[in-house]
Chain A
Amino acid sequence: MEMPAPNAAVLSKKAKIVARLQAVLPPSAVIHEEAETRAYECDALSAYRCPPLAAVLPSSTEEVSAVLKICHEEGVPVVPRGSGTSLAGGALPTADSVILGVARLNDVIETDYENRVIKVQTGRTNLSVTGAVEEEDFFYAPDPSSQLACAIAGNIAMNSGGAHCLKYGVTTNNLLGVTLVMMDGTITELGGAHLDAGGLDLLGLICGSEGQLGVVTEATLRILRKPEGARPVLMGFDSAEIAGACVSDIIKAGVLPVAIEYMDKKVIDVVENYAQAGYPTCEALLIVEVEGAPAEIDEQLGLITQIARKHNPVELRESTSSEEAAKIWLGRKSAFGAMGQLNDYMCLDGTIPVSSLPYVLRRIGELSAEHGLEVGNVFHAGDGNMHPLILFDANKPGDLETCEALGADILRLCVEVGGCLTGEHGVGIEKRDLMNDQFAPDDLENQMAVKDVFDPTWLLNPAKVFPLAVSERRRALAIAAE
């Protein structure tokens, strides 16, 4: 993955830029010594690293605005950062950029159970939002697996999802308002605590814009009352086709599970070795979870198991206690850790129409053999959000490149069957150069025109999302403006 050469003019005035930033922030909030800026050199796509010019950690919206104003005047690119768990390289710096981290903006501003909203600063972690309302039995629904670490800021920028989004939606469906700071320092509000923001849906546009349109410092989020209960059922099948047909039949029958998780044989084997969850040996395993009142759970599980039986499962295991439920989830929850023990891995998240599942899994198998790297599949089956995990050895010369080439082939396959490159991790740098496979030149031009409105000189996270060649002319504006 290529990154643009840093702007020499910016590099040469580092001292001036740092001095100006120090004038508006407390000393500890401006990090510029080379040894210290290394802490910000990458996100969770750690194969790519580059220390930034400086990193700043503002503690208020006004400080964010002051920083952006200075960077705007000096023509310095800014890379917003939450917790740095992006798997797409969304928070990867360039040598001429300032990392704007929102980690110190982590307060709860207001919890309002009557209106079922919470207002937080966006540096707050996803899980601690639920933590703030748990005592009243409320929760914040989007639950990325990284929820212990990732920040609401990154969730909004990537429009992150989680295992339970089949029922509750992703970040954008649970976001009611934001405070947005634009590249020139302008502060504005979009939406609020009311259900639909007025005018054009700018809130919907900001969510998922990967830190390229503005910096989000505060957010009003919908909170929900916890359901009375939830219970999973586990089923194993002889083939991907049968598992896929079962998923489709469950959905067609009018049941809406909160989660349908899928694991293939490769992942089952690895997970069994690692966590001994007692999973059956089979080609495809599904975990289906339903929630609600006890009667509702019984009724739904009754229907689901009835459908599953028609597909001759090799195993069908219901849970009658919370221990059994935890055991069913244990393997799924340790899947990524288990695969990580085996080797380095790259996790893709292309989405496909559920009906293409068997075909896509077969093709992934073939592509895996062609490139000579193993692939495990674990994913959210209800919504077609795949998670192929490509195993490779980062220390072996050429392996990363082979892995990336295989990854690109798999993502092109997702697009070919009517799906998309990314269902929850975002484009970042990782899928940037594949955007031409999903979009026509006019579509990309249209999206870039949107960025022109928010950030005319392309200083905010400029080298992401769009293929470098496609955004080149616009990125040159930033350099010219400087």
Chain B
Amino acid sequence: MTPNSEAELADAIASAKTPLRIMGGGTRPVGNPVAGEVLSTSGLSGIELYEPGALTIVAKAGTPVDEIEAALSKENQRLAFEPMDHRSLLGTNGTPTIGGIVAANVSGPRRVQSGACRDHMLGVRFVDGTGTILKNGGRVMKNVTGYDLVKLLTGSYGTLGVLTEVSLKVLPKTDTQATLMIHGLDFPQAVKAMSAALGSPYEVSAAAHMPDMGDGAVTMLRIEGFEQSVAYRAEQLANELATFGEITVETDAGKSAKIWTASRDVAGFENADGDVWRISVKPTDGATIAASLGADQLFMDWGGGLIWAVMPKGTDLRARMNGTPGHATLIRADEATRATLGTFHPELAPVAKISAGLRNKFDPKGILNPGLMT
């Protein structure tokens, strides 16, 4: 089903009696396998309002991300949370949509500085599991009117409602960027260096660590802004981190940007033969976990707080976290493994009860991506 309007979509859901698989561009098949008829949002497309002077964009959920980014680029603005493109990692093709990004709360390396997708969300329109059209939030940057269901819907993977329209806060693009590279650190040292950088006043906008895969380990720190300021901050930061090891600086903005696109899209894992996991922990725990997982391949983003790992097929990575607070998501694995291990981390009993209660209220027929998150 590909409804062409919010009203058509609402009718389709109201009359549905069996499960629906909600799909944007179909480029992010993350989640437990769902059996059901496909309901696509690709018929709901187009930017409805863009006010550069108010840093706000409103678009229908099926709008291609490229279209949004092109419009923003014309005004020298961007989605500051730097959403990842999952296509190469997951071997999908298709057109990523803005609704898909929001439904999966997709955020990239700049998460450490600017926040996640959810932090840039201003409003949603959606259709719940009964076919009722609902809205929450709006198009203004500060809004505490009623409960924040905008956050609740963001990252709910279509299990609470089908997004039809999203409003987002956008930010100015920065003039230029540079990347500092510290060579030869192990995990604990790397996290220490990234913590020092992120805890400095030099406004580091990304911090990642690639362990030694043959060419030596490298810890990378991005600085963005006006040219003079970037040069100044890179120099200050290099001085401050000099005791960690040898430092080089990539001052070519284009080359620096490529490094971060690759890191954002988890390049290098495409052809790995194993399950791909994404782990969110506090950075200092990240150092311990990274060293003890026994992963085939792995790297850290978010200053050590985000670990991407390739594990031998079917391995229960969560068991190897030894109860470390945080969570691990199984991003890529065959259906059987996803069904056995579960895509999402098991929740504390009271949290699981609340989540189930909410799903039951938003989707009493149990037809919106049932089981995808649980």
A residues in contact (CB < 8 Å) with B: 112-117, 137-138, 158-159, 161, 165-166, 169-170, 172-173, 182, 186-190, 192-196, 198-205, 207-209, 225-228, 247-249, 251-256, 292-293, 295-296, 299-300, 351-355, 380, 383-385, 418-427, 431, 435, 438-440, 442-444, 446-447, 449-454, 465
A79–B56 Cα distance when bound, in Å, is 36
Q: Which chain B residues border A299 with CB–CB below 8 Å?
A: 226, 228-229
Q: Which chain B residues border A465 with CB–CB below 8 Å?
A: 146
Q: Which chain B residues border A227 with CB–CB below 8 Å?
A: 201, 203
Q: Which chain A residues border B56 with CB–CB below 8 Å?
A: 353
The answer to whether A198 and B345 touch (CB under 8 A), given A115-B195, A169-B115, is: yes
Q: Which of A115, A188, A418, A419 sits near B351, CB closer than 8 Å? A: A188
The answer to whether A384 and B145 touch (CB under 8 A), given A199-B373, A201-B118, A225-B201, is: no
Q: For the complex formed, measure the closest distance between the CB of A430 and the CB atoms of chain B, giving whole angstroms.
A: 12
- Max chain B C-beta neighbours (<10 A), residue from A117, A200, A443, A453: A200
- Contacting pair A194 B325 (CB below 8 A): yes
- Contacting pair A354 B119 (CB below 8 A): no
Which of B20-28, B266-274, B281-289 is the interface stretch?
A: B281-289
- Contacting pair A420 B115 (CB below 8 A): no
Q: Which chain A residues border B53 with CB–CB below 8 Å?
A: 247-249, 251-252, 354-355
Q: For the complex formed, measure the closest distance between the CB of B186 and the CB atoms of chain A, giving whole angstroms.
A: 16
Chain A residue at smallest Cβ distance from B287: A114
Chain A residue at smallest Cβ distance from B279: A194
The 6 A-B pairs with the shortest beta carbon distances in the complex, nearest first, are A204-B151, A248-B53, A198-B327, A423-B142, A254-B172, A453-B357
Q: Does residue B233 face the partner (Cβ distance < 8 Å to A)?
A: yes
Q: Which of B202, B350, B373 sits near A200, CB closer than 8 Å? A: B373
Q: For the complex formed, measure the closest distance between the CB of A143 and the CB atoms of chain B, giving whole angstroms.
A: 14
- Contacting pair B345 A383 (CB below 8 A): no
Q: Which chain B residues border A252 with CB–CB below 8 Å?
A: 52-53, 75
Q: Which chain A residues border B228 with CB–CB below 8 Å?
A: 295-296, 299
- Contacting pair B282 A192 (CB below 8 A): yes
Query: How many residues belonging to B are interface residues under a CB distance threshold of 8 Å?
Result: 88
The answer to whether A195 and B116 touch (CB under 8 A), given A114-B284, A159-B144, A170-B142, is: yes
Q: For the complex formed, measure the closest distance between the CB of A68 and the CB atoms of chain B, giving whole angstroms.
A: 13
Q: Which chain A residues border B135 with CB–CB below 8 Å?
A: 439-440, 443
- Contacting pair A418 B145 (CB below 8 A): no
Q: For the complex formed, measure the closest distance between the CB of A206 and the CB atoms of chain B, giving whole angstroms.
A: 9
Q: Which chain B residues border A385 with CB–CB below 8 Å?
A: 141-142
Q: Does residue B55 face the partner (Cβ distance < 8 Å to A)?
A: yes
Which residues between 114 and 161 of chain B lie within 8 Å of chain A, taking CB atoms?
115-116, 118-119, 128, 132-136, 138-152, 154-156, 160
List 25 A-B pairs, Cβ < 8 Å.
Answer: A169-B115, A192-B282, A196-B107, A198-B280, A199-B355, A200-B160, A201-B151, A201-B154, A202-B355, A204-B148, A205-B151, A225-B199, A254-B173, A255-B172, A256-B172, A292-B203, A351-B141, A419-B138, A427-B144, A446-B128, A446-B134, A450-B152, A452-B361, A453-B354, A454-B354
Q: For the complex formed, measure the closest distance between the CB of A50 and the CB atoms of chain B, giving whole angstroms.
A: 24
A355–B174 Cα distance when bound, in Å, is 23
- Contacting pair B148 A208 (CB below 8 A): yes
A353–B142 Cα distance when bound, in Å, is 10
Q: For the complex formed, measure the closest distance between the CB of A380 and the CB atoms of chain B, giving whole angstroms.
A: 7
Q: For the complex formed, measure the closest distance between the CB of A220 and the CB atoms of chain B, giving whole angstroms.
A: 9
Mask for B30-69, Cβ within 8 A of A = 1, else 0? 0000000000000000000001111110000000000000
A425–B107 Cα distance when bound, in Å, is 29
- Contacting pair A188 B361 (CB below 8 A): no
Q: Which of B152, B174, B280 sits near A201, CB closer than 8 Å? A: B152
Q: A173-B119, A423-B142 are in contact. List 7 more A-B contacts (CB 8 A).
A: A188-B350, A198-B326, A202-B355, A203-B151, A353-B56, A354-B53, A446-B132
A248–B52 Cα distance when bound, in Å, is 8
A352–B112 Cα distance when bound, in Å, is 29
The answer to whether A296 and B229 touch (CB under 8 A), given A169-B115, A201-B155, is: yes
- Contacting pair A207 B148 (CB below 8 A): yes
Q: For the complex formed, measure the closest distance between the CB of A436 and the CB atoms of chain B, giving whole angstroms.
A: 11
Q: Which chain A residues border B319 with CB–CB below 8 Å?
A: none
Q: Which chain B residues border A422 with CB–CB below 8 Å?
A: 143-145
- Contacting pair A226 B354 (CB below 8 A): no
A41–B136 Cα distance when bound, in Å, is 32
Q: Which chain A residues border B306 with CB–CB below 8 Å?
A: 195
- Contacting pair B132 A200 (CB below 8 A): no
Q: Which chain A residues border B76 with CB–CB below 8 Å?
A: 254
The answer to whether A292 and B229 touch (CB under 8 A), given A192-B326, A383-B141, A450-B149, is: yes
- Contacting pair A205 B152 (CB below 8 A): yes
- Contacting pair A427 B201 (CB below 8 A): no
Q: Does residue B365 face the partner (Cβ distance < 8 Å to A)?
A: no
A455–B247 Cα distance when bound, in Å, is 55
Q: Which chain B residues border A166 with CB–CB below 8 Å?
A: 141
Q: Which of A116, A165, A292, A446 sits near B195, CB closer than 8 Å? A: A116
- Max chain B C-beta neighbours (<10 A), residue from A199, A295, A353, A419: A199
Q: For the complex formed, measure the closest distance between the CB of A166 and the CB atoms of chain B, giving whole angstroms.
A: 8
Q: For the complex formed, measure the closest distance between the CB of A232 and the CB atoms of chain B, giving whole angstroms.
A: 18
Q: Does residue B200 face the partner (Cβ distance < 8 Å to A)?
A: yes
- Contacting pair B284 A198 (CB below 8 A): no
Q: Does residue B213 face the partner (Cβ distance < 8 Å to A)?
A: no
A51–B135 Cα distance when bound, in Å, is 37
Q: Which of A159, A195, A201 sits near B111, CB closer than 8 Å? A: A195
Q: Which chain B residues border A353 with CB–CB below 8 Å?
A: 51, 54, 56, 139-140
Q: Which chain B residues border A383 with CB–CB below 8 Å?
A: 140-142
Q: Which chain A residues border B171 with CB–CB below 8 Å?
A: 256
Q: Which of A115, A418, A423 sits near B144, CB closer than 8 Å? A: A423
Chain A residue at smallest Cβ distance from B172: A254
